[in-house]
Amino acid sequence: MATFVSSLNKKDSVIMKSVKSLLFILLLLISVRGLTQDFDRYMVKKQLDCPDISLNSAALFEKYYTENKIDSAKTLLTYWQNRCGLREPVQRAKLLLALQENSFQDSILAENVLFHLFNFKNRTDLIRGEAYHTYDDNRAYFGYIPLGREFDLFTKKSFNKLKEKFESNSIEYLLCEFYGDNCDTIFSKIQTGAYPNSILTKEYYKEVNKFINLPELHMSFITGIWIPTGKAAKLGLHPELGYQMGIKRKKMNYDIIMSFKFGKAANSYIAFRKESGEYEETNHFFGGHIGLDIGRDIYSNRNRELQLVGGIAFDGFDALKGDVDKNIKSVSVSSYNFNIGVAYRYYITSSLYLGLRAKYNIVDYTKSGVIDFTGNPITIQFSIGGVNNLLKHDNLKILKYKLRR
């Protein structure tokens, strides 16, 4: 009997343990299910993002502005900027509100003013070209405000209306015009000097100065006339062809020049052939010039430049012909060349110019021992040339900066 009772007690104990285990498993499953349901709830919870905030804020701003609820409009703009940053539509709305309230200050333009102007200009150009699809790939750039829709139409109409209450030469009028119906002339008007103390002007020229002083590659083709003076005048006038290549940086010009002068001498002259030790009469002439030119702009006015130029060079000409069959070498006259003069450039475009320059050349043709006369030539040269730096010119073109034109 005792054995039987003991056996029952053991069975009851096993059953109790099993029941407890089962209850633990059930409780664990219930807890896990409860957590899963909570996660599901979080997964479907709506999160506010900038596309929704911007669209709703734009609509609310129009409502508050139209109803003249200025305090509500200001609070809304603070919220919009804090949540999505100072994007172009937010900046546009801030300017509109300030101009409406006659509380415009330059400080409103202090942060990324040119970025916002270019952003709006790009928006306007795309609307004009009906390229509305571009917005889909650049929503963040355009502040999550679709092109040409309610907000754009509202601000354009509002700026045009505000324009009437400002003087035509004021920065307020300029901004109303830009955001209204004419965003193409703002940079040209800044260059007139009408807004010298505005942050807009200062930021504009700060951007211009990043590019205006970049060096430019220069190249020109030269044609002209070589005019000897003194005893060398017997050689006569000779046409000249050549080219220049170098760089232009700010007001300075640095060039390597090479030119050739040709044609028979106007009169016969005596030259000494050292090889034979004899003097020969000749009218042969073929000259060359290679050197370094340096110029500085002493006057410039958009498309005109006047330069002071000077240089050093190696100069000379062939006086006696050679004869290969007789193993006779040609004989050349050579000399240093120090030159100084003036040059004028008229720019047809911001890069292409027509030029004229005159130089006085100091030489000594007797140094070679071939001829016994000398004379300092005058050169008059016409040129067609160009200066270019793609980075410089492309950026200044975007800024509507009238470089040389």
| Cβ-proximal residues to 44 (8 Å cutoff; 6+ apart), any chain | none
d(CA 342, CA 359): 7
How many CA atoms within 13 Å lie on the side-chain side of 303? Answer: 11
Residue 3: predicted pLDDT: 47
Q: Considering the domain 216-391, what is its CATH architecture?
A: Beta Barrel (2.40)
Assess contact for 198 and 205: CB atoms under 8 A: no
The answer to whether the CB of 353 falls within 8 A of the CB of 386 is yes
Give 308's strand partners.
296, 342
Write down the pLDDT at residue 186.
94
CA-CA-CA-CA torsion for 184, 186, 192, 195, nearest 10 degrees?
170
Residue 39 has a pLDDT of 46
* H or E stretch at 289: strand 286-301
Q: At which residue do the structure tokens 């609307």 appear? A: 127
Predicted confidence pLDDT, tens digits, the chain (405 residues): 444 445 445 555 555 666 566 666 666 555 555 544 554 554 555 667 899 999 999 999 999 999 999 999 999 999 999 999 999 999 999 999 999 999 999 888 877 899 999 999 999 999 999 998 999 989 999 999 999 999 999 999 999 999 999 999 999 999 999 999 899 999 999 999 999 999 999 999 999 999 998 999 999 999 999 999 999 999 999 999 999 999 999 899 999 999 999 999 999 999 999 888 899 999 999 999 999 999 999 999 889 999 999 999 999 999 999 888 778 889 999 999 999 999 999 999 989 999 999 999 999 999 999 999 999 999 999 999 999 999 999 999 999 998 876
* pTM, two decimal places: 0.73
Distance of alpha carbon 43 from the chain centroid: 48
Measured torsion, CA atoms of residues 175, 178, 179, 180, in degrees rounded to the nearest 10: 110
Q: How do the domains of the chain map onto residue ranges?
A: 50-193, 216-391
